[in-house]
Each structure stands twice: as C-alpha cells, then as structure tokens.
Homo-oligomer: A and B are copies of this chain.
Amino acid sequence: MKMVMAVIKPPKLDDVRAALAELGVTGMTISAVQGHGRQKGQTEIYRGAEYDINFVPKVKVEAVVEDDRVSAVVDAITQAANTGKIGDGKIFVMAVEQSVRIRTGETDAAAL
C-alpha cells in the first residue's frame, strides 16, 4: 500500500474528491494546512505597517491506496487539482507497511 499525500488549493478539494470517487477511492483524510513555495503569500498592511503573510492556505489530502492504484490516483489528482497557475501543489507517495481498520481489526487491503 502507498500513502498518496497531495497538497492542493482549497477550492479544488471538491473536484479532487469527485475524481477519486470515480476511481472508487473514497477513503481519505483531509487537513487544513499552510503552504510555502514558489507561490508567495500576500504582503498586507496593518495599521500602516507592512507585513508578509508567508504562508498560503492549502488543503492536504492523504489517501492510502493499494500499490496498483497509485498511478491512477496520482493522475486523477494531477488532473483534478490543476489550474495551471503557480501554487497548484504537489503529490508525494510514501510506502505504508501496514493498515488496520479499527472497527473490525481487518488489515491491509481489506482495511482501506
């Protein structure tokens, strides 16, 4: 199994979710994160003093999938989250050694 971790633009979450659903991937965990990269944060002025907002709001999607689905999942996310503008985000894939479904104790593929 692999953990596919994607950092995307928040308004794209719904498209990504839908794209994964089409592949039959419905299990995922989402979190609100802040990104730093080529896309710069804003420079704002508060009461006359400039300040940089160094981070940009992003959404992190983590989905653990079976090995043979990884490339489809990566492609689906790449497509769905793409706006062509800087800051679209990244996808990282990492190995998962073990999975457990807490409710049933099922493991590995059955747990996803």
Chain A residues near B (Cβ < 8 Å):
1-3, 6-8, 14, 17, 26-38, 54-55, 58, 60, 64, 70, 74, 77-78, 81-103, 105, 111-112
Contacts and interface: CB of A to CB of B under 8 A. Distances in A.
B29 A60 contact: yes
Given A64-B90, A90-B64, A97-B95, A31 B34 contact: yes
Which has the most chain B C-beta neighbours within 10 Å: A3, A36, A83, A87?
A36
Nearest to A103: B88
Contacts of A28: 35-37
A105 B8 CA distance: 14
Which has the most chain B C-beta neighbours within 10 Å: A14, A82, A102?
A102
